[in-house]
Amino acid sequence: MSDNNSLFTTPLNALHLAAGAKMVPFAGYSMPVQYPMGILKEHQHTRQKAGLFDVSHMGQIRLIGDKATEALEKLVPVDIVDLPLFKQRYALFTNTEGGVLDDLMVTRIESGLFLVVNAACKQQDIAHLQTQLADACEIEVLEDRALLALQGPAAKSVMAKLAPASTEMVFMTAKDLSIDGIDCFVTRSGYTGEDGFEISVAADQAEALAEKLLAEEGVEWIGLGARDSLRLEAGLCLYGHELATDISPVEAKLNWALSPARRATGSRPGGYLGAEVILKQLETGVRRYRVGIQTEGKMPVRDGATLMTADGEVLGIVTSGGFSPTLNKPIAIGLVAASASAIDTKLYAKVRNKSVPVKVVALPFVKQNYYRG
């Protein structure tokens, strides 16, 4: 804990302060929102070179035991049983109403499963796992680990130099690696739309690892501000915005994440919380969908703005909005009525009592550059 403000700090806190980071409260932690470079340049640097993100506030959990994969399938609409060793999959904790409790990353490891969950949902996710799965597997919360994300086109060459075996990895795979002598568990994944790696490392080795990465040409610290604008451009969901307890995976247009094996005609249909609701939605559709929103003009449209027709009929809400440094214009994501979800549908966003013209566009806003080999 930080003595002066009762916030948790990550093992990399001293490095952030030394780098001149602006620290803000986030999910109970003191976290860097930006560095002296500024959010705009940090964003552009990640798209062009390589950004290093401290994401140690997120939850790292191991599910240990032979029954771990079967057990987790009771909580997610995803094929975990057939997940190959050292392969990673995006998953969703659902509730009995078909809404989303959190989204997470699941990796098959030799002892069972390795999970990464969102910081704001970490404690509730741990409690959920302990309540639902404690009889089936061991639940180990990894309190002594840090998590770093190296993202951007130069991440590949940096990792190839420091950990040559990383060149064997493709998107959504994992490996135990020695990064210049430091033992790490690495996945080729991230939250920016760029190629990159997420690196789990012992907390007492985190500073040394970060310094090694930052010493490489093209690598700079990047804060939470640019992390959000990068994920928005990539069209990725953020829990509490595009995902929530009253928003289903189908409404969020995450059908691709609902594994065929768990669907009505699959080998292991349903069997998770809210399955009846979600399987019905897959069959019949839903009343609203997540869509991209493009502002016509330079007026930014922020979270919570109402989306409506020209005559004032409310058809949805903006869930995330901001400025796109890559496109040099405002962009947003929203939930809109199914009748207004088609590409090029014209709507209006209510911003400070003004009606701003917008239209529905395809996601992502910026091409995703994951390395698939």
332 in the same domain as 206: no
Round to whole Å and give the CA distance between 64 and 60: 13
Q: Are 327 and 310 in contact (CB under 8 A)?
A: no
Domain that holds residue 28: 13-54+144-233
Round to whole Å and give the CA distance between 322 and 58: 23
Cα distances from 126 to residues 59, 171, 223, 248, 295, in angstroms, run 9, 27, 26, 21, 39
Number of domains in the chain: 2
Average pLDDT (156-164) is 98
> Considering 233, 265, 295, which residue would you say is the last residue of a domain?
233
Residue showing tokens 């976290």: 31
139 domain-assigned: no
245 domain-assigned: no
111 domain-assigned: no
CATH code: domain of residue 167: 3.30.1360.120
Task: Name the percent of the chain in helix, strand, coil, to the closest 5.
Answer: 25, 35, 40
Give the model's confidence band at 44: pLDDT under 50 very low, under 70 low, under 90 confident, else very high. very high
337 in the same domain as 188: no
Omega before residue 269 within 30° of 0, cis: no
Confidence at residue 348, expressed as pLDDT on a 0 to 100 scale:
97
pLDDT at 3 over 90: no
Round to whole Å and give the CA distance between 42 and 32: 12
Mean pLDDT over all residues of the chain?
A: 97
Average pLDDT (300-308) is 96
pLDDT tens digits, one per residue of 105-114: 999 999 999 9
153 in the same domain as 20: yes
292 in the same domain as 227: no
> Considering 218, 233, 248, which residue would you say is the last residue of a domain?
233
pLDDT tens digits, one per residue of 208-233: 999 999 999 999 999 999 999 999 99
225 in the same domain as 163: yes
Secondary structure of 155-181 in the HEC alphabet? HHHHHHHHCHHHHHCCCCEEEEEEECC
315 domain-assigned: yes
30 domain-assigned: yes
Round to whole Å and give the CA distance between 334 and 303: 8
Give the model's confidence band at 353: pLDDT under 50 very low, under 70 low, under 90 confident, else very high. confident
248 domain-assigned: no
pLDDT at 355 over 60: yes
156 in the same domain as 21: yes
Confidence at residue 250, expressed as pLDDT on a 0 to 100 scale:
98
